[in-house]
Amino acid sequence: MRSLILNNKIFIVIFLLGAFLRFFRLGDYPIHLNHDEMTQLYDSISIAQTGKDIYGNFLPFIFPSIGDFKPPFYTYITSIFYFVLGWNELIIRLPGAIFGVLIIPAIYFFTLEFLKKRSIALASAFFTAIAPFEIFFARKSFENGAGVFMLLIGFMFLFKFLKRPDVRWLYFSAVVFAFGMYTYFSHALIIPILLVVFVIKYRAEFANRVFNIFPVLLLLFLIAPLFFMILSNSNVRYRSQTVFIGQDRELGRLLEVGKTSNQFSDFFVHTYIYVDYVLDKYLKQFDPVYLFANGLDLTNQGLMGAGPLLLVQMLFVLLGILFLIRNNFLTKEKSFILLWVLIAMLPSALTFEKHSPHRVVMVFVMLNIVSGIGLSYFIDFIKRCRKYSFTILLVTFSAIFLNVIYFLHIYFINYPYEKSEYLQYPFKDVAEFAWSQYPNFESIVFDPSFGDFSPMVGVGAHYYLGYFGHYPPEKFQKELHTGSNPREMIFDKFSIRQVYWPADRSRKDTLFIVSIWSVPLSDVDQSLIIKRFNFYNGKLAFYAIKL
């Protein structure tokens, strides 16, 4: 044991560093559960207690949630944590953080099998431990981390099989890949493509092994229900449509301008515009500013933010690429890395958002490995310059350290100030206050239209109220129904809806919780305001009116 620790002390330090960055005050940062976390949390408790989500669907394959139809993996895995830890906000963040930590050894062993050089594996694990996107997504209850973990493990088993032809590795990889595909819908598309690419790339090695169909059949058997549900479930199709590039406004504008008088040319022109737009969008994903400077969208200060990768990593990514290009070995590995990046970037190009870092985590993972290659060879090179090697390495690691500190500052300090509204801050305070006033009013009306700069609707408000009121999910399932007012959801005394003040101001024995976007402060008698709720930056988010 002692020798195991001593032999792997650098890896253990990296692992502990990664674990620290993921678990340090996990319950406090991000400062508030966003609506994705909240909906999955309450649904997971509902599943654990009743076997149904809050809308009464029995063990759903896809969760209607707040109309965005969420993949099932994360909700179900959180249910397991609920059984262990009970009614606790932290349980929603634990699976993400745990997989976020497990990715570090996964990267290490995957890289070791893949590139067969320990220093590269260590450097890749190091970048994985400190990369902004890894920390950011691991702390925000994101299911993609689990999928990436399984993807890496799956390929590691495949490499092991190529090295030692033991068919058990194939069975393991089939199971792991299948699980990986269940975690996130885009994985169901990308993992099979990567597998096909892998088999083609390493066809010579596979040809030397005794062919065994059973692992393939096992994989097909395991993923058959997934594809059956994807193809047959209208909600999955709806989800795909709502995020598909067809919803992109700019594309819509181009198609409108590109209209011609002839039906045939219209079809031709529209097809071309569509394809061209997708290609443009695909290229845009390689914007270095997005990758290294502000892609995580943690601030409102333009280029001063944090990208999925550290700014200093740009140097090592370039060095890694240069090394791969300039060396004649690793031919298959080189093209596999390239194809991995090119293929895994596709989902972001096919969806309506300008950039979707959460859909291309696999790309960033590979770029961490490429920067690991860069760092490893940089260190090897510097070691040759004996006189200055210490100084250069000191400067290099100081730069990395400073960059990490900068990111942590942005993440822990600036992000809450700049983006608290996107974390649905202060819905928790609102919900807790509403419950504290429960006995004092006949009804409580909450209009979740809010925003710091412009209004948006917090569509998960009923989840916040249900969860923070410790409202039993079974009762919630029975009580929850839609009302006659615009976007109205009703349960118990609560009505979550749009407030129309000229009509609502005459109601009696009612607590209204509204923002300035639905009821301007000037329209309300100030003496009736019994509580104000601020965003993290101190600006007014909601206020409570007692009628």
Partner 1 sequence: MNIKNKKWIIIIIVLGFLIRLFWIDFPKFTADEARIAYRGYTLITEGRDELGRVFPFIFNSSQDYQLPLTTYITALGIGIFGKNDYGARLPFILLGTMIVVISYKIAQFFNPRKEFCLFVSAIVAFSPGMIFLSKVPNESLVLTILVMLLFYLLAVKRFNLRLIVLVIILSLITSKFSWFIIPIFVPFVLFFFTNSVNKRIKIRISLLVICISISLFLIYFNIPQGKRSLIENNFSLFQDTSVTNGIDKLRGQGLESGGLPFIEKSLFNKTHFISIGFLNWLSQMQPYFFFGKFDEKNIDGFVNAGSLQKILIIPFLAGLFYILSNIEKKYLFLLISIGILTYPLIFAAPFNNLKSILPVIPFLAIITVFGFIHLRKFLRVVIIILFMFELGFMFLNMDMSTRIAQYERPTWIQEVIRDGLKRSGTQKLAISDNLASDLGVFVQWYMEGKMMGLDGDIIFPYKFRQTEISNIRIISSDSGFYMCGTDIPANVIASKRDVKKIASWLNVKTELAIKNAYKNDRGEDIAYFFDPTICVH
Among 90, 199, 283, 528, binds partner 1 (CB under 8 A): 283
Collapsed DSSP state (helix, strand, coil) of residue 532: strand
Omega before residue 30 within 30° of 0, cis: yes
85 binds partner 1 (CB under 8 A): no
Among 4, 210, 325, 503, binds partner 1 (CB under 8 A): 325
Q: Are 25 and 137 in contact (CB under 8 A)?
A: no
- Put residue 345 in one of left, alpha, beta given phi > 0 → left and psi -120 to 50 → alpha: alpha
Q: Which residues, 57 to 76, sit near partner 1 by CB under 8 A? A: none
Nearest approach, Cβ of residue 492 and partner 1 (Å): 38
Q: Are 153 and 110 in contact (CB under 8 A)?
A: yes
528 binds partner 1 (CB under 8 A): no
Nearest approach, Cβ of residue 401 and partner 1 (Å): 12
- Contacting range for partner 1; rule: CB under 8 A; set: 86-94, 171-179, 268-276, 496-504: 268-276
Q: Which residues, 481 to 500, sit near partner 1 by CB under 8 A? A: none
Distance of alpha carbon 422 from alpha carbon 147, whole angstroms: 25
Among 490, 142, 136, 478, smallest CA distance to 310 is for 136
218 binds partner 1 (CB under 8 A): no
Collapsed DSSP state (helix, strand, coil) of residue 426: coil
Among 91, 153, 293, 444, binds partner 1 (CB under 8 A): 293
Among 410, 480, 489, 544, binds partner 1 (CB under 8 A): 410
Tallying the residues shown for the chain, one arrives at 547
83 binds partner 1 (CB under 8 A): no
Distance of alpha carbon 312 from alpha carbon 314, whole angstroms: 5
409 binds partner 1 (CB under 8 A): yes
Choose between 401 and 500: whose C-beta lies nearer to partner 1: 401
- Contacting range for partner 1; rule: CB under 8 A; set: 7-15, 24-32, 210-218, 412-420: 412-420
- Put residue 59 in one of left, alpha, beta given phi > 0 → left and psi -120 to 50 → alpha: left
Choose between 287 and 432: whose C-beta lies nearer to partner 1: 287
Binding mask 415-444 for partner 1 (x = CB under 8 A): --xx--------------------------
280 binds partner 1 (CB under 8 A): yes
- Put residue 364 in one of left, alpha, beta given phi > 0 → left and psi -120 to 50 → alpha: alpha
Find where tokens 């490429």 sit. Answer: 370
- Interface with partner 1 (CB under 8 A), residue total 34
Among 59, 304, 385, 395, binds partner 1 (CB under 8 A): 304
Nearest approach, Cβ of residue 408 and partner 1 (Å): 10
CA separation (Å) from 156 to 111, 113, 215?
A: 8, 6, 15
